[in-house]
Every structure is written in C-alpha cells, then in structure tokens.
Amino acid sequence: MRIYPLFYPQNMDQIPLPPQGDNARFGYCLDLVNSFGAEPRCAYCGLWMGEPYEHFLLMTMDHIIPKVLVVRKRSGSGPWAETEQLRRFVMSAINCVICCSECNGYHLHTKPTMEQIHTPPQTLDEFMQLRDAVFLKKRERALYRHRQDRDRWKRNWRT
Ligand SMILES: [Zn+2]
C-alpha cells in the first residue's frame, strides 16, 4: 500500500540526497516541491501552505523517522549512526515531508514513545515499512491533537 505523499524508491539507486538548502521555506521544502513534486501541503493535517502568505509562514519539514537517531547536536551521533546505510535513509528525502509547524510541534512529544525505533531496520524494505508505520502513527496523533485543539478553540474563543 502506498501512502500519499510518501516517496517509494524501488532500489538503492533511487535513494535521493537529503533535501537541499539552509532554510525550510526557501530551501528544503522548496527542494521537495521542485525535485519530488511534493505539494506545499501539510502531510499530516492537510493544510495548504502555498498561499496565503500567513499559511506559507507555517511551512516546515519533518523527518518522519527522527534524525536524532543518526545525528545529535551535542554528542554528535545517535544510536543508529554507526550504520552508514541507515544514516543515508534517515537523512534522505524519502524520509522527509512538508508539514505545518503545529503538526511538527505535536510530534516533539511523541518521539520518545516510538518503541519500534529501538529495532533498526536492516534493509530498504524494512526501512520503508517502519517509515510508513511511523508516518501513519504521527498523522493519527496530529489529527487527534487538532480535534482536541479545535474543540477548545470553539469553547474558549468563539462567541
Ligand atoms: Zn499540519
């Protein structure tokens, strides 16, 4: 089963580079649009961020399998870092989606609970299966959080 908007390479030759750029909106996200035909739409909640400008400001990029597994700011490397292939998969565009800053923020709280991440995938197929499973879990979590926040908004902000 293929999940839009995820990219499905057939073999190792099709593993793309990490998204290019030094900035989300004018770099990585634009590269995902130009190189992979991604839409400027949140992969989790569906928010269109191509316009208006105020929506565009919310555009970020998410590594579906968290990149802390291979790169850490302080110690330099995460638990999967010793495997060059895993590092390549995690940093590649196959593991990246455009998403809104709100959905990206929700995921900060779900990352430590992903028990699947403790078993590193050995092959491209295993990586893709894990990526898809984590993506679906993140999307479910983001939609749940949006429903909660929308209810609170209706109760507290609308007259
Ligand atoms: Zn979103």
Contact, 98 vs 49, CB < 8 A? yes
Q: What is the pLDDT of residue 98?
A: 97
Residue 83, pLDDT score: 82
* Residues found in the chain: 159
Report CA(110)–ligand 1 centroid distance (Å): 15
Q: Ligand 1: distance of its center to the CA of 99 in Å?
A: 5
- Helix H or strand E encompassing 98: strand 96-100
Distance 41 CA to ligand 1 centre (A): 8
Both tokens of 85, joined, read 């292939």
C-alpha 141 – ligand 1 centre gap (Å): 11
Q: If phi over 0 gives left and psi between -120 and 50 gives alpha, with beta otherwise, what is residue 32?
A: alpha
What's residue 113's pLDDT?
47
Reported confidence tier of residue 110, pLDDT bands at 50, 70, 90: low
Q: Which residues surround ligand 1, an ion (CB under 5 A)?
A: 42, 44-45, 47, 100, 103
Domain ranges within the chain, ordered by starting residue? 14-101+119-148
Average pLDDT over residues 40-65: 96
Q: What are the residues facing 18 on neighbouring strands? A: none
